[in-house]
């Protein structure tokens, strides 16, 4: 608030001129010395001294969220002649809704040097102004950058350029604060890995960090040395910041990605030979349009964020059909596509002490529909933001689930743990989504039941209820105790023998990076887990799992989200 007043009066000073502005301020001081003036007193004095109505300043600029955004639309040289002087006609534009009629300056430049500057009265809509015809190669609104214009990218008009209003392109590594005199394209090298694509190397290209532009994009192609294919992600979005009282931010975006998703084994084509000839990589192609609507809070200092999310996820991939009784002759590739629609409402309070969040989601897709609720609360201890007792609650159920008899890769389950294979929305980055053994098979997400064991015990085709607890011990020691408890209700008790049983696990979490990278060492678990581990002769180290929040490791995403609120 205090910064806005300083910017506003600097704008006023530039418009009036420093000498005239100082004279009015000195008169104001002399007139109200040792008195209690009101805002109207200052307004009346400025209007009397300037001979102008100043509602645009004292009413709109100071007390509302109305914006200024002038742009140059077109230029006609020597349009009009007055006496012996020729004038160019400069047509300018400013959207009417949510904007104010602040005065503006227009400058002519030659080889980057200012030739002439003229101030004009403000307007809404479209207005032509006359500017003296002279030798210049560039026109610029507010060359001194004293007007609080919200979009300086449209303030320049290049006379000799093919695209008059587009600044020159600049490729720049990593990122920087936006330079409105350049079309900035940032880039940085990226490295990725999964067991199917192996090492992936590429480059990320993006157009904004701070501030977030109306239109932003990120394109991240990578060459996968294992699958010898192109993998990667691309995202583009458009942002609106409505001036009303209902919406804080609206974003419409589209994401596309493709990565290796499994292996297809090719064997020697003889009846008795089962030798593996090659191992081909099966890839998925994911497309997801999304609409995010963030509601505006009455208190501008509020840490609360309320958000509606609408998205569609469409997954294209193949599977290989096998002749009956011969899993070594799976040579017929058939489409194995599916889709899911999701509507969600979430609310979170990012206050430093005792933060909380909740989310309600409803999904409908190919042969299934479900609804779920997740709530989180942190009881903060003294000594730091990451020091406290975390409580999480999850409840979810299928309203319809006809996927059980389909290809196992497409079965939709709620699960006590969140192994990557159950992530049918493909939201999480996974090292080996369908790997059944090895290090990568111990990766967990943090959705659904939130258990920490690498087991299929607790999967459900109907209903799941779970609670998770985690408590830090000493402030500077990266160790936490955790416990999970839950129940899975299923349609078929024979296929899911744990149905209706109380399940639990508990152990120690090694927090290498808070909310980013954690390792889980199980110490206790319920009978169903214990029976399964004993039957498979599972060693202690084979029960250890880990979680990596790759979204938190994305620097571009983190900077952009921090700039929004």
pLDDT of 327: 53
Same domain, 335 and 252: yes
Alpha-carbon distances of 300 from 62, 246, 247, 304, rounded to whole Å: 16, 13, 13, 10
- Which tens digits make up the pLDDT trace of 53-110? 999 999 999 998 899 999 999 999 999 999 889 999 999 999 878 899 999 999 999 9
Same domain, 249 and 135: no
Model-wide pTM > 0.75: yes
Whole-angstrom distance, CA of residue 104 vs CA of residue 404:
66
Same domain, 285 and 391: yes
- Which tens digits make up the pLDDT trace of 134-146? 999 999 999 999 9
Same domain, 130 and 18: no
pLDDT of 437: 82
Give the tokens for residue 314.
């469409």
Domain containing 393: what range?
Answer: 171-564
Same domain, 177 and 226: yes
Same domain, 78 and 193: no
Same domain, 103 and 26: no
Which of 128, 158, 188 is a domain's end point? 158
Give the tokens for residue 312.
């569609």
**Domain CATH number, residue 88:** 2.60.40
Whole-angstrom distance, CA of residue 189 vs CA of residue 191:
7
Same domain, 254 and 111: no
Which of 131, 158, 185 is a domain's end point? 158
Same domain, 11 and 77: no
Same domain, 384 and 465: yes
Same domain, 343 and 200: yes
- The number of folded domains in the chain is 3
Higher pLDDT, 213 or 206: 206
User: How high is the mean pLDDT of the chain?
Assistant: 88
Same domain, 39 and 107: no
Question: Is 164 a member of any domain?
Answer: no
Question: Is 104 a member of any domain?
Answer: yes
Q: Which residue has the tokens 């990589």?
A: 281
pLDDT of 564: 44
Sign (positive or negative) of CA dihedral 514, 515, 519, 520: positive
Asked if residue 211 has a cis previous peptide bond (ω within 30° of 0), the answer is: yes
């Amino acid at each position: 608030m205090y910064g806005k007043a300083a910017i506003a009066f600097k704008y006023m000073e530039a418009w009036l001129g420093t000498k005239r502005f100082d004279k009015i301020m000195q008169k104001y001081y002399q007139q109200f010395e040792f008195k209690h003036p009101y805002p109207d007193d200052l307004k009346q004095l400025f209007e009397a001294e300037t001979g102008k109505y100043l509602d645009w300043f004292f009413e709109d600029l100071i007390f509302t969220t109305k914006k200024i955004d002038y742009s140059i639309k077109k230029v006609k040289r020597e349009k009009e002649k007055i006496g012996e002087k020729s004038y160019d006609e400069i047509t300018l534009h400013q959207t009417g809704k949510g904007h104010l009629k602040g005065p503006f300056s227009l400058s002519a430049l030659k080889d980057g040097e200012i030739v002439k500057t003229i101030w004009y009265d403000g307007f809404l809509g479209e207005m032509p102004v006359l500017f003296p015809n002279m030798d210049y190669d560039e026109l610029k609104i507010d060359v001194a950058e004293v007007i609080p214009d919200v979009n300086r990218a449209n303030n320049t008009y290049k006379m000799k350029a093919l695209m008059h209003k587009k600044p020159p392109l600049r490729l720049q590594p990593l990122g920087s604060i936006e330079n409105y005199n350049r079309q900035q394209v940032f880039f940085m090298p990226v490295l990725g890995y999964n067991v199917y694509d192996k090492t992936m190397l590429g480059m990320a290209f993006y157009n904004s960090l701070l501030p977030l532009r109306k239109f932003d994009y990120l394109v991240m192609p990578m060459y996968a040395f294992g699958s010898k294919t192109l993998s990667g992600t691309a995202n583009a979005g458009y942002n609106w910041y409505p001036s009303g009282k209902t919406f804080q931010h609206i974003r419409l975006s589209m994401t596309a990605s493709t990565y290796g998703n499994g292996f297809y084994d090719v064997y020697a084509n003889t009846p008795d030979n089962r030798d593996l000839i090659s191992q081909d990589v099966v890839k998925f192609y994911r497309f997801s349009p999304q609409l995010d609507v963030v509601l505006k809070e009455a208190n501008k200092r509020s840490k609360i964020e309320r958000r509606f999310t609408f998205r569609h996820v469409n997954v294209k991939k193949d599977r290989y059909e096998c002749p009956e009784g011969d899993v070594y002759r799976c040579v017929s590739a058939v489409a194995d596509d599916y889709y899911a629609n999701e509507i969600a409402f979430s609310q979170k309070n990012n206050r430093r002490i005792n933060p909380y969040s909740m989310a309600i989601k409803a999904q409908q897709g190919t042969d299934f529909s479900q609804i779920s609720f997740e709530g989180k609360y942190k009881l903060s201890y003294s000594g730091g933001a990451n020091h406290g007792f975390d409580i999480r609650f999850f409840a979810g159920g299928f309203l319809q689930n006809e996927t059980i008899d389909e290809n196992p890769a497409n079965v939709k389950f709620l699960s006590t743990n969140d192994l990557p294979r159950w992530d049918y929305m493909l939201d999480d980055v996974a090292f080996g989504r369908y790997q059944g053994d090895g290090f990568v098979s111990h990766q967990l997400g943090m959705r659904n039941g939130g258990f920490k064991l690498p087991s299929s015990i607790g999967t459900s085709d109907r209903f799941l209820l779970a609670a998770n607890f985690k408590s830090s011990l000493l402030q500077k020691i990266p160790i936490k105790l955790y416990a999970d408890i839950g129940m899975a209700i299923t349609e078929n008790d024979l296929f899911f023998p744990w149905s209706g049983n109380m399940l639990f696990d508990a152990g120690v979490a090694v927090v290498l990076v808070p909310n980013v990278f954690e390792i889980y060492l199980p110490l206790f678990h319920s009978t169903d887990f214990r029976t399964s581990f004993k039957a498979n002769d599972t060693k202690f180290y084979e029960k250890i799992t880990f979680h990596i929040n790759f979204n938190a490791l994305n620097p571009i995403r983190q900077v952009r989200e921090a700039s929004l609120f």
